[in-house]
Amino acid sequence: MTKLLEWLFAVSLVGVAWGLVTFDLLDFQFPAVYREVAWPMPVYLLVVFGCYSLATVGYRVATFNDCEEAARELQGQIQEAKEDLKKKGLKI
Amino acid sequence: MASGKGNKKKQEDSDKYSVLLPTYNERENLPLIVWLLVKYFGESGYNYEIIVIDDGSPDGTLQIAEQLQKIYGHDKIVLRPRPKKLGLGTAYIHGIKHATGNFIIIMDADLSHHPKFIPQFIEKQKEGGYDLISGTRYRGDGGVYGWDLRRKLISRGANFITQVLLRPGASDLTGSFRLYKKNVLESLVERCVSKGYVFQMEMIVRARQLGYTIGEVPISFVDRVYGESKLGGNEIVSFLKGLLTLFATT
Ligand SMILES: Nc1nc2c(ncn2[C@@H]2O[C@H](COP(=O)(O)OP(=O)(O)OP(=O)(O)O)[C@@H](O)[C@H]2O)c(=O)[nH]1
Ligand SMILES: [Mg+2]
């Protein structure tokens, strides 16, 4: 099953569950409060997911390591390499 | 420089590591990356070869590579040039054909991937018997240097979307600093059709799909110092296209 199908499957499951409660498709006679909670649920979920995404990406951007030390080490090694290669007879 | 201790310890080790270095206009970087590779392989004592796949670089990268071959020997530096620029994906395929090692290391020649991590890749692989080891900028001590906020945001954002949609079981999908068992790489390369960044992503997604085991090692990615970078606006578009293709087909 491709990822696309997995997603479609999951989304339709949620959709069916939502439809069942909100419109009482199978005539379960749910109390009215069920429907009130259920009908805005997709929007809630989207908002929650959006907030989660923004927070996660924001946090990860803020904590993305800056490898100053690695850059400095590399600069030093570049100098060392250039001198050594010159000695070994490399002509650029 | 070379520590005799390391050399002796690994002499009976029959594993050989072929490093594939695709180059296009890397005359300044190539000698430096080769020097670093020789240094770290020398210190750790593993058996290796460096395969340079130059695509007819107009800046004379190949002439530099020939000089390096004279300095370090034909057994260590192997040249497999192609007459014109044919792209990264086919450069790997071309390199694999000529590789004599049972492991293959793929890395950029532009010094953004530091050879000091290779011994860590190898140890990690031996530790867990992994089919592939992927360097990751997004975990542990991994990170980047020389990226502004915008680039970090794009990178993290793209990575997040990809993680959500594909759940690939690896944290760095677009990085291209990896170690593969040779047969694993061969079977993956055969299956992968994407280009550019998406190629690296497809490799790891398909690896997971085929049940290969993946180990990760944090790496620091230092942006290229010399030469031209090719990151543009249409990179993002082609990345998204590739992502959706993988989403629909894997
Ligand atoms: N043989 C060959 N090598 C290539 C080709 N295109 C890129 N390369 C090499 O592949 C490596 C990665 O390419 P880069 O230009 O660094 O691409 P990048 O890392 O995505 O982007 P920047 O580092 O920002 O430039 C480098 O070693 C290049 O020299 C190609 O068509 N043929
Ligand atoms: Mg690069």
- Residue B10 above 70 pLDDT? no
Across A25-48, average pLDDT: 91
Q: Which amino acid is at A42?
A: P
Rounded Cα–Cα distance for residues B46 and B8 (Å)? 10
Residue nearest to atom 25 of ligand 1 (CA): B229
CB spacing of B153 vs A61 below 8 angstroms? yes
Length of chain B: 250
For residue B143, the cross-strand partners are B220
Read off the pLDDT of residues B117-128 as tens digits, 9 standing for 90 and up.
999 999 999 999
Mutation for B interface: A7, A45, A61, most B CBs within 10 A: A61
CB spacing of A70 vs B32 below 8 angstroms? no
Rounded Cα–Cα distance for residues B8 and B5 (Å)? 5
Which residue in B49, B45, B69, B243 sits closest to B159, CA to CA?
B243
* Residues with C-beta atoms within 5 A of ion ligand 2: B 108, 110, 112
Integer-rounded Cα Rg, in Å, for chain B is 17
Interchain CB contact of B148 with A (< 8 Å): no
Rounded Cα–Cα distance for residues B215 and B134 (Å)? 6
Interchain CB contact of B142 with A (< 8 Å): yes
pLDDT band at B213 (very low <50, low <70, confident <90, very high): very high
Query: For a pocket test of ligand 1, which of B88, B198, B223 has the largest count of ligand atoms closer than 8 A to its C-beta?
Result: B88
Rounded Cα–Cα distance for residues B232 and A33 (Å)? 52
Domains delineated in chain B:
2-249 (3.90.550.10)
ipTM of the complex: 0.90
Instruction: Give the percent of chain B with pLDDT over 70.
Output: 93
- Residue B96 above 50 pLDDT? yes
pLDDT band at A16 (very low <50, low <70, confident <90, very high): very high
Residue nearest to atom 13 of ligand 1 (CA): B108
- Residue B193 above 90 pLDDT? no
Mutation for A interface: B1, B32, B137, most A CBs within 10 A: B32
CB spacing of B114 vs A92 below 8 angstroms? no
Q: How far is CA B40 from CA A37, B14, B67, B136, B234, in A?
A: 62, 18, 20, 20, 37
Q: What is the pLDDT of residue B124?
A: 98
pLDDT band at B11 (very low <50, low <70, confident <90, very high): low
- For residue A37, what are its two tokens? 């909670």
Rounded Cα–Cα distance for residues B22 and B125 (Å)? 23
Which residue in A42, A15, A10, A83 sits closest to B165, CA to CA?
A10
Across A1-15, average pLDDT: 94
Smallest CA–CA separation between A20 and chain B, in Å? Answer: 27
Interchain CB contact of B248 with A (< 8 Å): yes
Q: What is the pLDDT of residue B235?
A: 82
Strand, coil or helix: what is B82? strand
Measured from the Cα of B223, ligand 1's closest atom is 23
Rounded Cα–Cα distance for residues B168 and B134 (Å)? 12
Question: In this structure, what DSSP letter does residue B93 have?
Answer: H
Of A41-45, B7-11, B44-48, B170-174, the one with minimum mean pLDDT is B7-11
Smallest CA–CA separation between A9 and chain B, in Å? Answer: 13
List of chain A residues whose C-beta atoms are within 8 Å of the C-beta of residue B31? 81-82, 85, 90, 92
Across B157-172, average pLDDT: 95
Name the pTM for this structure. Answer: 0.91
List of chain B residues whose C-beta atoms are within 8 Å of the C-beta of residue A9? none
pLDDT mean across residues, chain B: 92
pLDDT band at B1 (very low <50, low <70, confident <90, very high): very low
Q: What is the pLDDT of residue B238?
A: 87
CB B183 within 8 A of CB B223: no
Rounded Cα–Cα distance for residues B40 and B10 (Å)? 14
Across B61-82, average pLDDT: 97
Residue nearest to atom 11 of ligand 1 (CA): B108
Of A11-15, A20-24, B73-77, the one with minimum mean pLDDT is A20-24
Instruction: Give the percent of chain B with pLDDT over 90.
Output: 81
Read off the pLDDT of residues B233-245 as tens digits, 9 standing for 90 and up.
788 888 899 999 9
Across B63-87, average pLDDT: 96
Does the Cβ of B243 fall within 6 Å of ligand 1?
no
- Residue B79 above 50 pLDDT? yes
- Residue B3 above 80 pLDDT? no
